[in-house]
């Protein structure tokens, strides 16, 4: 698509869907209220640009593509879950002891996922608990019934396979939630129907002793996966850190074809009340994205954007910059607030001990009784700030630190 003329500065309220502004100098341009879905600002110079109340996101054709991919992936994982359920059903119909073991292991897995989420630490604890449970149950069963240890090993392997399938299903089905509620419904419907039907067919064609066994296995596999997916999706969208790995995957998937600010210079840009879903603020291959002193006041859906390694990736920092009002006596000790814009924010008694405040802006901010012990404030602008009672012991500053008209 042909790039637009860089001399045009006024884009207020315009429809700029899919437009390319790559590497253009648009400093001071006004994009307030504009529709920027799918627009490309990669490598652009946008110093002081106004994006207040602008809307970013994905164009309809890309959204349709994402929904189609979500449907097929959901259907495929639903099939795998149902197939695994049928396989377990067929295997366990021969041994009531094995059914009890599998039930016990399944309870441990579900409890671990609900309690710990999907983290490396959680899976480590889950594996340890399963191994210990398997050893204890195996020993007890060998003493009481002489059950073949190979049977128990096979059940354990199947249980691990179920966990893997369910985990992948949760990622995909959670992704549809971020796209839209309609997408979530399509994904769940596709996964459940295809999983249940194909799972039942696999069981019947496999020579099951009873068609009921196959149907039960398919139903348990598909419905169980769907319910666990709903739970994980809700926890993910609420920002539960235990499901953070899913949120990163989902946001990345939902940002395909979204608005790109990669490698752009957004110094002092204004995103007040902007709707920023499915935007990409990561560094480009050629240069970093400059997010110094941007105004994020009341920006919406910023957590649904790809934020890379910037300070916005920290939920606490993001909340402070968007809401502009920390909780009473809130502590930001040791956090990275480099280049943050906190002009005029009420920060009385806030703890910034050992925080990185380099190049940040606190113009006319209230820092009364704030703790700035050992904080880094090189190049920071405190013009007109209230410092009464603030603790500045051991803080780092130099000639670039602005302390004009402070109280």
Domain closes at, from 229, 251, 273? 251
pLDDT for 183 = 45
Which range, 37-51, 95-109, 138-152, has the best average confidence (pLDDT)? Answer: 37-51
CATH number of domain containing 293? 2.160.20.80
103 and 238 share one domain: yes
137 and 193 share one domain: yes
Q: What is the pLDDT of residues 213-224, one digit of tens each?
A: 555 555 555 566
Distance CA 235, CA 174 (A): 10
71 and 27 share one domain: no
Q: Is the pLDDT of residue 292 over 90?
A: yes
Beta-bridge partners for 227: none
pLDDT for 89 = 56
192 and 110 share one domain: yes
Q: Share the mean pLDDT of the chain.
A: 75
Q: Is 264 exposed, middle or buried (0-12, 13-18, 19+ CB in 10 A)?
A: buried
Poorest-confidence range of 17-21, 238-242, 372-376, 398-402?
238-242
97 and 212 share one domain: yes
180 and 247 share one domain: yes
List own/partner pairs for 94-101 with CB under 8 A and 24 or more apart. Answer: 95/147, 95/151, 97/141, 97/145, 97/147, 97/151, 98/147, 98/151, 98/152, 98/155, 101/134, 101/137, 101/141, 101/152, 101/155
pLDDT for 125 = 65
Average pLDDT over residues 296-323: 90
348 and 277 share one domain: no
305 and 353 share one domain: no
Residue 319 in domain: no
Report the number of distinct structural domains present in the chain: 3
Is-above-0.85 flag for pTM?
A: no
pLDDT for 100 = 58
Residue 151 in domain: yes
Q: Is the pLDDT of residue 297 over 90?
A: yes
Q: Reduced to 3 states, what is the DSSP secondary structure of residue 116?
A: helix
Average pLDDT over residues 223-250: 69
pLDDT for 264 = 94
Q: What is the pLDDT of residues 19-69, one digit of tens each?
A: 999 999 999 999 999 999 999 999 999 999 999 999 998 887 777 777 777
What is the band of 206 on the pLDDT scale with cuts at 50, 70, 90?
very low
Residue 243 in domain: yes
DSSP 290: B
Taking alpha carbons only, the member of 264, 255, 265, 268 closest to residue 296 is: 268
287 and 223 share one domain: no
Q: What is the pLDDT of residues 179-194, one digit of tens each?
A: 444 444 444 444 444 4
Beta strands 259-260 and 279-280: pairing type? parallel
Where in the sequence is the domain holding 43, given as residue range(s)? 1-59+263-313
Q: Reduced to 3 states, what is the DSSP secondary structure of residue 259?
A: strand
């Amino acid at each position: 698509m042909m790039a637009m003329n860089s001399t045009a500065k006024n884009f207020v309220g315009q429809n700029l869907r899919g437009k390319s502004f790559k590497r253009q100098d648009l400093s001071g341009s006004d994009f307030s209220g504009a529709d920027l879905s799918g627009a490309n600002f990669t490598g652009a110079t946008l110093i002081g640009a106004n994006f207040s109340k602008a809307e970013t996101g994905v164009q309809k054709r890309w959204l349709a593509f994402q929904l189609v991919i979500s449907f097929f992936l959901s259907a495929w994982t639903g099939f795998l879950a149902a197939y695994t359920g049928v396989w377990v059903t067929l295997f366990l119909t021969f041994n009531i002891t094995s059914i009890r073991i599998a039930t016990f292991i399944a309870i441990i897995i579900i409890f671990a996922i609900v309690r710990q989420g999907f983290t490396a630490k959680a899976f480590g604890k889950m594996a340890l608990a399963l191994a210990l449970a398997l050893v204890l149950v195996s020993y007890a069963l060998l003493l009481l019934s002489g059950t073949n240890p190979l049977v128990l090993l096979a059940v354990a392997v199947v249980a691990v396979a179920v966990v893997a399938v369910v985990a992948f299903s949760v990622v995909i089905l959670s992704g549809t939630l971020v796209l839209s509620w309609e997408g979530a419904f399509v994904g769940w419907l596709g996964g459940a129907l295809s999983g249940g039907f194909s799972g039942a067919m696999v069981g019947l064609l496999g020579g099951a002793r009873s068609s009921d066994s196959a149907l039960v296995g398919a139903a348990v596999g598909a419905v169980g996966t769907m319910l666990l997916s709903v739970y994980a999706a809700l926890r993910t969208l609420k920002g539960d850190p235990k499901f953070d790995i899913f949120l990163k995957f989902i946001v990345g998937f939902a940002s395909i074809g979204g608005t790109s600010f990669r490698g752009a210079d957004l110094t002092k840009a204004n995103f007040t009340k902007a709707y920023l879903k499915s935007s990409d603020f990561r560094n480009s291959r050629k240069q970093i994205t400059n997010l110094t002193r941007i105004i994020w006041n009341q920006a919406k859906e910023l957590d649904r954007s790809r934020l890379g390694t910037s300070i916005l990736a920290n939920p606490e920092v993001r909340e402070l910059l968007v809401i502009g009002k920390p909780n009473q006596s809130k502590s930001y000790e040791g956090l990275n607030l480099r280049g943050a814009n906190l002009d005029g924010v009420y920060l009385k008694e806030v703890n910034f001990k050992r925080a990185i405040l380099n190049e940040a802006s606190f113009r006319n901010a209230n820092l009364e009784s704030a703790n700035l012990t050992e904080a880094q404030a090189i190049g920071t602008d405190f013009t007109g700030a209230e410092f009464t009672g603030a603790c500045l012991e051991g803080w780092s500053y130099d000639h670039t630190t602005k302390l004009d008209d402070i109280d």
